[in-house]
Amino acid sequence: MNQNEDNPTSFLGVQPRDILCADKLVELEKVDKSCNQESWCIAWAPDCSYVAWSQGGGIVYLLPWAPDEGQLLKKPTRDQSCENLNDIEEQPFFDNLPRLSQPDGVDEIEGDFEWNQSPGPSNNRQVEAQRFRIDCMDYVWSMTFGSGISRSKNNVTKRRRFSFNSDLILVTGLQGGKIKVWNVYTGNLIMELLDHKKNVHGLSVMCDGTLKLASCSADCTIKCWDLNNDGNMYKTLRFKENVMVFDCKWSPNCKQLAAVGMNKCAYVWNTSNLSQPRKLSGHLHNVVHCDFSPDGALLATASFDTRVILWDPYTGDQIKTLGHMFPSPRPIYAGGANEHYARCVSFSKHGYRIATVADDGFLRVWSLEDSEENPLSIAEIQKPLCCCYSSNGHVISTGNRAGKIEIFRPQPCGVAKLQHLCRMSVRQKIQEPKLVDSLQYPFRLKEYLKYKHL
């Protein structure tokens, strides 16, 4: 860890050895050297079987991941920019990705890998994991995976052009406003959604299998789509100030939709009616990214004011602030700390760790329960733009302005406390704080359930 004593950092009064450094597992350089575009987004499949890497210039690589081994699988790459995949030989081809660095003590995987997909009792087939090189024909600003396993009994007999019952999909948001939906197992384009007029900055798919998609754009709108209904766009939302929107997220319980943008605020809608959003005020600059905790009880927002704020999305109360610059800039200077902009935030699987990246060149891993103002683990990254915890919470992927992807494993910092896991179980069933207050529990326990002790 390097610290410049002349510049303020988020490591308050610590020595370089006081904070653990994350281990780098994989580093992939951009394949197309002539492309000078940034890697604005990285996405993990819900089952952690794939990681999608946008290397810039409209090129996305779908890379199989072995969760147990914690490494990428070496497979030949199929180029979806070719018109006919049948003309391509089965021998390794288009495999111009650099050699992957393996973690110490882990041998390379030999032979073919088969991923056992079992979305339902009637589907026991095996799908071979395969790399795909996808040319989206436009710059990619956002990506997300979606599960095609429909849990809605009302749609079982409904006649549709597209069937997602056994497929994993990748959704890409493009600079021109198009949204393209791809089949992960074949690399084929399924559908295009056309309604946004400018860059699609954020995408989010409901995790309940209904395949409701939310997208936000530089055209100042948030749009809701039903992919199970031929991609029908059924709702358009706007900030009251009518400003550019940078990110949007469905909550894990699918009861809320959050969005952030240029007006220093975050908005939270109730998905039952998608009207009269709750406004979360507290940032001093543009809010560029957001993420819900796995139990849906917390909303984290990252801002150019160098801070990440944890909110109660049901009440709008600020729970905790993670500073990326000490001392924190005064309000009048918060827009001028260019080297410390907080770019992205991501919760781990159990909601006990939070990963952030900032323009000062650090990936930080924070503990939700730690009362200290310093992160638990860090890694140095040149010009980072995005970070994302894997679906199983074991590793963190990052992208930077050079179009490079790096995957880190944070140093072990202890396991989540049993009381925290119990709290998550309770809050997954009882979402609203007013329902927590109605429980016949001691006051301090109810405050703990509402994260008010942080």
Cα separation, 362 vs 3, in Å, equals: 11
What is the number of domains present in the chain?
1
User: Which range is least confidently modeled, 16-30, 185-199, 392-406?
Assistant: 16-30
Nearest to 1 by CA among 406, 364, 305: 364
Strands 189-194 and 200-205: unpaired
Mean per-residue pLDDT for 225-231?
90
Cα separation, 448 vs 454, in Å, equals: 8
In this predicted structure, what is the pLDDT of residue 201? 96
**Residue 51 pLDDT greater than 90, yes or no:** yes
Q: Is residue 437 part of a domain?
A: no
Q: Is residue 424 part of a domain?
A: no
In this predicted structure, what is the pLDDT of residue 12? 77
Q: Is residue 445 part of a domain?
A: no
In this predicted structure, what is the pLDDT of residue 341? 92
Q: Per residue in 196-218, pLDDT tens?
A: 999 999 999 998 888 999 999 99
Mean per-residue pLDDT for 148-153?
51
Where is pLDDT greater, at 341 or 125? 341
Q: Is residue 16 part of a domain?
A: no
Cα separation, 315 vs 212, in Å, equals: 25
pTM here?
0.86
Q: Is 403 helix (H, G, I), strand (E, B) or coil?
A: coil
In this predicted structure, what is the pLDDT of residue 104? 40
Q: Is residue 403 part of a domain?
A: yes
Q: Is residue 444 part of a domain?
A: no
Mean pLDDT, the chain, whole residue set: 82
Q: Per residue in 110-134, pLDDT tens?
A: 333 233 333 333 344 445 678 999 9
Q: Is residue 442 part of a domain?
A: no
Mean per-residue pLDDT for 50-72?
90
Contact, 109 vs 66, CB < 8 A?
Answer: yes
Which letter does DSSP use for residue 420 in this model? H
What beta strand segments (E) does 178-253 contain?
178-183, 189-194, 200-205, 212-217, 222-226, 232-237, 245-250
Render 6-45 in DSSP notation, one character per residue.
TS--S-TT--GGGSEEPEEEEEE--S-TT-------EEE-
Which letter does DSSP use for residue 167 in this model? -
CATH code where residue 319 lies: 2.130.10.10
State the residue range of the domain holding 231.
23-416
Nearest to 134 by CA among 35, 59, 28, 55: 59
Where is pLDDT greater, at 269 or 14? 269
**Residue 151 pLDDT greater than 70, yes or no:** no
Q: Is residue 105 part of a domain?
A: yes
**Residue 254 pLDDT greater than 50, yes or no:** yes
In this predicted structure, what is the pLDDT of residue 92? 33
In this predicted structure, what is the pLDDT of residue 17? 66
**Residue 335 pLDDT greater than 90, yes or no:** no
Contact, 387 vs 379, CB < 8 A?
Answer: no
**Residue 319 pLDDT greater than 50, yes or no:** yes
In this predicted structure, what is the pLDDT of residue 28? 84
Looking at the chain, the whole-number percentage of residues with pLDDT higher than 90 is 55
